[in-house]
Amino acid sequence: MSDIYFINTLWNQKGLSIRKYAERFSKWNENRPILSIYTTCIFIGYILL
């Protein structure tokens, strides 16, 4: 039971960090559509890890 709780808290921290990074990067990335596709792939890979 504690293992599941630990995994859930790690997952929530990972999701929050992705959201903060995505908000920060989207402001910088408005004029760079190619990089946004690249970073979307990074986000998907990071979530799956």
Number of domains in the chain: 1
Calpha distance 25→13 (Å, rounded): 18
Question: What is the helix, strand, coil percentage profile of the chain, to 5?
Answer: 90, 0, 10
pLDDT of the residue at 35? 66
pLDDT of the residue at 49? 67
The helices-and-strands tally (H runs, E runs) of the chain is 2, 0
Cα of 46 vs its chain's centroid, Å? 6
pLDDT of the residue at 31? 61
Predicted confidence (pLDDT) per residue in 1-49, tens digit: 567 677 677 777 776 777 777 777 777 666 666 666 777 778 788 887 6
pTM: 0.30
Calpha distance 43→48 (Å, rounded): 9
pLDDT of the residue at 29? 62
User: Could you list the residue range(s) of the whole structural domain that residue 17 is in?
Assistant: 2-48
pLDDT of the residue at 9? 76
